[in-house]
Structure 1
Amino acid sequence: MSLVVSNLTIDHGAIRAINNVSFTVPQGQLAAIIGSNGAGKTTLLRTLSGLKEAASGNASWNGISILGTRPEDLARSGIMHVSDGKSVIAELTVKENLALPGIWRKDKKDVAAATNEAIELFPILGQRLSQSAGALSGGERQMLAIGRALIARPKLLLLDEPSLGLAPLIVEQIFQTIKSLVKKMNLTVVLVEQNAMGALKIADEGVVLNLGTVVAVDSAEKLLNDPAVRAAYLGF
């Protein structure tokens, strides 16, 4: 099982946002997609999760093309997309948000077990169950978004900027949680991040985008030690 992106091209209006991008993420691996603002990272993730159409190319999961599939159908097949803290429903309580993935899952006993696991993973959610999601801090909303996605028992998790606007300590906690989930659940994760250093530190491999084109694909460790990558994207 792996995510295979082949010659993917995506247009954003009149602009070519992603041009002929290819990379593979094997099962149980975490791939960090890094690059400066405007590199096309979020556009790429939105296309993989069915929120945007591709102009050409292909993306497949477990040998089956996922392009053009509705997000809800992808979710049912084990592909979950977590956007940058905006994917929780502010008007609903934490408990109601966590209940959403269980609506379409048939195994209600496992839904209950998965919900308990999400609360164990992020104990603050257990203390906030009756609060509206809109009253949570940015870090708590991000924990809720990730916890809710995990209740669907995903095989492939697409994470868009989980560190955006968060305090460094919370970022570290969320990054370490993501890393542990990959190992514990044999999850495949595609992590789009502005925080290139933090992302590469927890990733198995990295994909560097510049103006919609792949400029490097390598192990995260090699990219961290590459002088050109460090100068252009890591700031040292």
Structure 2
Amino acid sequence: MSLIVEGLTIDHGAIRAINNVSFKVPQGQLAAIIGANGAGKTTLLRTLSGLKDAASGSASWNGVSILGKRAEDLARSGIMHVSDGKSVIAELSVKDNLALTGLWRKDKKDVAAATNEVVELFPILGQRMSQSAGSLSGGERQMLAIGRALIARPKLLLLDEPSLGLAPLIVEQIFQTIKSLVKKMDLTVVLVEQNAMGALKIADEGIVLSLGSVVLIDSAEKLLNDPAVRSAYLGF
């Protein structure tokens, strides 16, 4: 299994948000997509998860095209999109938020097992089960958003800015959890991040976007150690 994107072009109204982008992410790998604000990172992720249409190009997962499919159909096929922590439903309890992903899964025993695994992964959620999601801190909401996606037993996880607005200590915890999930669940992860340095530290590969185009693809380690990349994107 692998995610293969070829010549993908996406328009945002009259603006070309993504221009002829190609990359590949093999199964069990974590690819970090980094770049300045307005580089097109979120637009790219929304297109891969069925929330936006592409103008041209192709994207496939395990040899099957994922473009033009409904987001819920992609989710049921094992592709989960986690936007930042605002994606949780504030009025619902933590328990009810977690239950949402399991509603369409037939194997209710495994839904229960997956829910227990999420609570083991994020113990704070277990302590907050009866609280409304709106009462959680930003970090807890992000854990809930990721946990809810994991209950679907995804194969491909598309993560949009999981560190946005969080305290450094919580960011470190979320990043390390993501890294451990890749190994433990043989997950394929596409991580879109403003926090380029944190993302590259846990990634296998880095994809640098600038103004909608790919300007560099290399191993995360090489990108971290490249002086030109460091000064342009990592700030040191």
For the aligned pair, the TM-score class normalised by the smaller chain equals over 0.9
**Corresponding letter in the other structure for 1:32:** A
Q: Report the equivalent of 1:151.
A: 151
Task: Give distance in 1, aligned partners of 2:152 and 2:91.
Answer: 21
What SS does structure 2 have at the residue aligned with 1:103? coil
Shift of 1:226: 1.0
Q: Report the equivalent of 1:172.
A: 172
Shift of 1:105: 0.2
**Corresponding letter in the other structure for 2:22:** S
What SS does structure 1 have at the residue aligned with 2:74? helix
Shift of 1:134: 0.4
Correspondences of 1:182-197 after superposition (within 5 Å): 182-197=182-197
Task: Verify: 1:60 aligned to 2:60, yes or no.
Answer: yes
Task: Give distance in 2, aligned partners of 1:39 and 1:146.
Answer: 24
Q: Report the equivalent of 1:36.
A: 36
TM-score (norm 2): 1.00
Shift of 1:141: 0.1
What SS does structure 1 have at the residue aligned with 2:206? strand
Shift of 1:87: 1.2
CA RMSD of aligned residues (A): 0.4
What SS does structure 1 have at the residue aligned with 2:33? strand
**Corresponding letter in the other structure for 2:32:** A
Task: Give distance in 2, aligned partners of 1:59 and 1:88.
Answer: 27
TM-score (norm 1): 1.00
Percent of counterpart pairs with the same letter? 89
Task: Give distance in 2, aligned partners of 1:139 and 1:72.
Answer: 25
Q: Report the equivalent of 1:76.
A: 76
Task: Verify: 1:211 aligned to 2:211, yes or no.
Answer: yes
Q: How many residues in Structure 1 have an aligned counterpart in Structure 2?
A: 236
Q: Report the equivalent of 2:115.
A: 115
Task: Give distance in 1, aligned partners of 2:35 and 2:102.
Answer: 35
Shift of 1:26: 0.1
Q: Report the equivalent of 1:139.
A: 139
C-alpha distance after superposition, 1:38-73 (max 9, x if no partner): 000000000000000000000000000000100100
Task: Give distance in 1, aligned partners of 2:58 and 2:138.
Answer: 34
Q: Structure 2: which 5+ runs fail to align? A: none
Shift of 1:227: 1.2
What SS does structure 1 have at the residue aligned with 2:164? coil
**Corresponding letter in the other structure for 2:170:** I
Shift of 1:163: 0.1
Shift of 1:83: 0.1
Q: Report the equivalent of 1:16.
A: 16
What SS does structure 1 have at the residue aligned with 2:86? coil
**Corresponding letter in the other structure for 2:192:** V
Shift of 1:162: 0.1
Task: Give distance in 2, aligned partners of 1:123 and 1:199.
Answer: 23
What SS does structure 1 have at the residue aligned with 2:113? helix
What SS does structure 2 have at the residue aligned with 1:32? strand
C-alpha distance after superposition, 1:158-209 (max 9, x if no partner): 0000000000000000000000000000000000000000000000000000
Shift of 1:102: 0.9
